[in-house]
Structures are given as structure tokens and as C-alpha cells.
């Protein structure tokens, strides 16, 4: 087995294993900022272990789709985490690391989650699925505009080329990327069901989006979905780093740079998780009917960034 394939498998497994740790770090930082006793950083692992040891309770009218969806969602998130460069760039999955294909992978996982939420026929599941589709309908075009801004700079839609172009050229401040970065942050908190769009720590039936879709899941199925949620947060964080802070990602074949690249990656994720917790602490959840305004602003910022580079090349 070639070194590239080994590095690809190692990077994918690293993302799968570290994703719950990132979630635990965010929860711990948020508890500290709110003056509460912080849970252990390994609490997500304990929760997953507990859920995997329980027996699943499934509604009698559940279709095979309801049982299959958690596995499909987890596979999509693992694939997305594998093709986004985190430690090493230009790995064997790189030909598949197209930003448009990446948006499609996220959409595929979302469709299965929404269909599974509506499968049982509960009011909460259907309500959550409709809200999720509303958010995605507004977030996906904005995410594409963010990617197109980076693609115009690198003249490619492939993530490895974008990372290599932005990381190894002369240091240039792009105002267009600044607008795209703000838009990407707004999209990522919406796509990951975080404040101000959704609150992952509550189960208020009038406001919840993601939690409403998984109320009927239990045991291993719920564990896979929760793990997928952590993987999605990890992937979006890695995507933000690859687009806007790509320095430190090692090139394929540069084995000597791997330890430093791993340390830089961990430092970036620690800072990013703490920043996310800080923003959630000082922010309030907006009303659901204000979510289109929030994501509409993200779309306008992303389009403005793209037009700035397209017209002025800045």
C-alpha cells in the first residue's frame, strides 16, 4: 500500500476520532464562559459508548429508510472529512475534493436525515425536517458563492489546488476573502445548528431544528447521528482553515513536516473551538423567521466578495 493511501486513511481516521473531542472542547469552553462547572472534554466519547451499548427502540411503522439513514449520514460525513485537507494536502482522494461535490455530499446527508425525520410521521420530526430544508435552501447558495470566491483566486474548484495556491504564494490580503470568511462563519453556524440559528443544548419544541429530527432515534442509531454531527462540525472547521488559514498544511511526500502540521492543526482547532464557544456565549438565538435575514446577509456578503475579486481582482 502506497504512502499516499496510508496518509489518506490516517487523515480520515484522525478526523473521525477527533471530531467528538472537538465537540467536547467547545462544550467545555462554553461552560467556562458561562460560569458553570465544565463537563469533561471526553464526555462525547462516554455518551457514544453508552449509546452503542443500549438496545435500539424503533417505531413499529418505521421503514427500512429510518434504519439505514444513520449509516448513510455517517458515511457522508466521513467521506467529507476525508477529502478536506487537514494535515496533508493533495492525497489520493484529492480528485474527488471538488468544492461543488462537497456541497453535494452535505446535501445528500441532509436529505436522508430529513426523510428519516418524516418517516415515522410525528409532528416534531416533520416540523424539524421542514425547518432544516428552509435553512439549507438559503445556506447552500451562499456556501457556493464562498467557494467560487476562492476558486476565482486559485483558478480551480479543487480544494488541494485552492490550499496550495493560498498557502504557498506571496502573502496577499484579499478583501474578497474577508467578506467570504464572514459569510462562511454565518453559514457554518447555520449548517451545524448552532446559535444564533439553533441551540444544540435545548429541546424547546417551538425553536429546535436538528433535535426535532432525531427525537425518535435511540441507541446505536442515535450514536451514529451524534457522531455525524460532531464530524460535520469538524469538517466545516477544517474547511474554514483550508480556505482562510491554510498555512501549515503539509504537502504530500513531505514526511518531515507532518509532526509540525499536526501540531498546527490542533492549535487551530483549539482556537477555533474556543472562538465558537465565545461567540455562542455572547449571542442570543434569533427567531426562526429571522433566519432568512441572517442567511440572506451571508449570501450577499459572499456575492460581494466574489464580485470584488471578479471585477477588481482584490
With the CA atoms of 165, 168, 171 and 172 taken in that order, what torsion angle do they form, in degrees rounded to the nearest 10?
Answer: 0
Mean pLDDT of the chain: 88
pLDDT digits (tens, 9 = 90+) for 131-180: 899 999 899 999 999 999 999 888 888 888 888 888 776 666 788 899 99
The predicted model scores a pTM of 0.93
Task: List the beta bridge partners of residue 158.
Answer: 98
Q: Is the pLDDT of residue 1 over 60?
A: no
* pLDDT value at residue 274: 94
Q: Is the pLDDT of residue 272 over 60?
A: yes
Alpha carbon of 179 to those of 138, 145, 149: distances in Å?
17, 11, 10
What is the rounded distance in angstroms from the CA atom of residue 210 to the CA atom of residue 114?
10
Amino acid at each position: 500500500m502506497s504512502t499516499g493511501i496510508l496518509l489518506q486513511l490516517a487523515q480520515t481516521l484522525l478526523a473521525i476520532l477527533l471530531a467528538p473531542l472537538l465537540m467536547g472542547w467547545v462544550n467545555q469552553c462554553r461552560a467556562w464562559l458561562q460560569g458553570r462547572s465544565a463537563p469533561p472534554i471526553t464526555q462525547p466519547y462516554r455518551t457514544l459508548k453508552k449509546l452503542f451499548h443500549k438496545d435500539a427502540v424503533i417505531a413499529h411503522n418505521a421503514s427500512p429508510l429510518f434504519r439505514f439513514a444513520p449509516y448513510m449520514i455517517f458515511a457522508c460525513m466521513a467521506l467529507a472529512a476525508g477529502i478536506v485537507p487537514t494535515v496533508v494536502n493533495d492525497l489520493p482522494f484529492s480528485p474527488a475534493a471538488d468544492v461543488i461535490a462537497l456541497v453535494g455530499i452535505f446535501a445528500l446527508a441532509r436529505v436522508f436525515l430529513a426523510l428519516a425525520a418524516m418517516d415515522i410521521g410525528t409532528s416534531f420530526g416533520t416540523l424539524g425536517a421542514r425547518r432544516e430544508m428552509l435553512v439549507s435552501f438559503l445556506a447552500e447558495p451562499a456556501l457556493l458563492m464562498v467557494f467560487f470566491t476562492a476558486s476565482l483566486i486559485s483558478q480551480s474548484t479543487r480544494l488541494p489546488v485552492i490550499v496550495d495556491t493560498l498557502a504557498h504564494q506571496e502573502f496577499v490580503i484579499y478583501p474578497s476573502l474577508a467578506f467570504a470568511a464572514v459569510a462562511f462563519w454565518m453559514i457554518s453556524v447555520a449548517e451545524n445548528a448552532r446559535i444564533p440559528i439553533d441551540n444544540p443544548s435545548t429541546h424547546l419544541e417551538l425553536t429546535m431544528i436538528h433535535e426535532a429530527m432525531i427525537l425518535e432515534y435511540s441507541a446505536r442509531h442515535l450514536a451514529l447521528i451524534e457522531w455525524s454531527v460532531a464530524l460535520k462540525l469538524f469538517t466545516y472547521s477544517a474547511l474554514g482553515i483550508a480556505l482562510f488559514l491554510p498555512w501549515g498544511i503539509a504537502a504530500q511526500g513531505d514526511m518531515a513536516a507532518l509532526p509540525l502540521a499536526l501540531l498546527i492543526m490542533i492549535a487551530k482547532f483549539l482556537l477555533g473551538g474556543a472562538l465558537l464557544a465565545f461567540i455562542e456565549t455572547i449571542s442570543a438565538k434569533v427567531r426562526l423567521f429571522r433566519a432568512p435575514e441572517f442567511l440572506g446577509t451571508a449570501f450577499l456578503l459572499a456575492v460581494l466578495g466574489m464580485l470584488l475579486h471578479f471585477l477588481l481582482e482584490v
